[in-house]
Structure 1
Amino acid sequence: MPKRAWQKLSADAGAKGHRVYDWALAGVADGQAGLRRLLVRRNRNSGELAFCRSSSATPAWLTTLVRVAGRRWTIKETFQADKDWPD
């Protein structure tokens, strides 16, 4: 992806502060109805990439998709806390 495609954004605040990554969007042509895109997250230290597919009836801003993707960590932490709860 071109250098200008990447934006430095925080997905959400974590235990150690905001989780800041580089983010980019790529179009996906799969013949399905609606707007399909691939959200790409790049670790600013290691360069490791992570991917998330998005689908919407109308275009969504990169910042909105990043915020939604960041909710994944909150959900994961909630499930983990529930598992640790005594029976």
Structure 2
Amino acid sequence: MCAADLAALPAAKWKRISCGPGAHGQRFYDRARLDVRTEWSHGFGHWVLARRSISDPTDIAYNHCYAPARTTLTRLTQIAGRRWPVEECFQQAKNEAGLDQYQVRDWRAWYAHITLFMATHALLTAARTLAAQANPTPQQTC
């Protein structure tokens, strides 16, 4: 499976689908999926989910997906679109709780840091949520 295989897909395989709202409205792209493994294991499937730009059909990006066999192309697209809120959450965690402030020398030290970080980030998120409920001003939470 390569980018040339995705570019050679017939027009009927591509569907124009939004993966959710963005800064400038809905994020529409042409989407298609290809089976990576034809055998289904325990009711789950493997696909390549392709995203093709509407303005430049040669601009194709893709993700490898593993999901229940009955998962639709629209649902895979919605899940792929959830990447940006997760990225924003990680950036917030780096800024507020020190997710990126460790040096890996030992697995146990890394595990202790990540455990403390997760607890700190959860506490900050809960405190921010309680503050927003007490003072209803628009605040972004992770």
**Which residue does 2:21 correspond to in 1?**
13
Paired AA for residue 61 in structure 1: T
Listed as ranges, the gaps of 5+ residues in structure 1 are: none
State TM-score, norm by structure 2. 0.54
Greater Rg by CA: 2
State TM-score, norm by structure 1. 0.83
Listed as ranges, the gaps of 5+ residues in structure 2 are: 1-8, 99-142
Higher strand share: 1
Q: How many residues align?
A: 87
For residues 20-40 of structure 1, the C-alpha deviation after alignment (integer angstroms, 9 at most, x for no partner) is: 100001011277733111100
For residues 1-87 of structure 1, the aligned pairs below 5 Å read: 1-29=9-37, 33=41, 34-47=44-57, 48-85=59-96
Q: Which structure ranks higher in relative contact order (CA pairs < 8 Å, sequence separation ≥ 6)?
A: 1
CA RMSD of aligned residues (A): 2.1
Identity %: 31
Higher helix share: 2
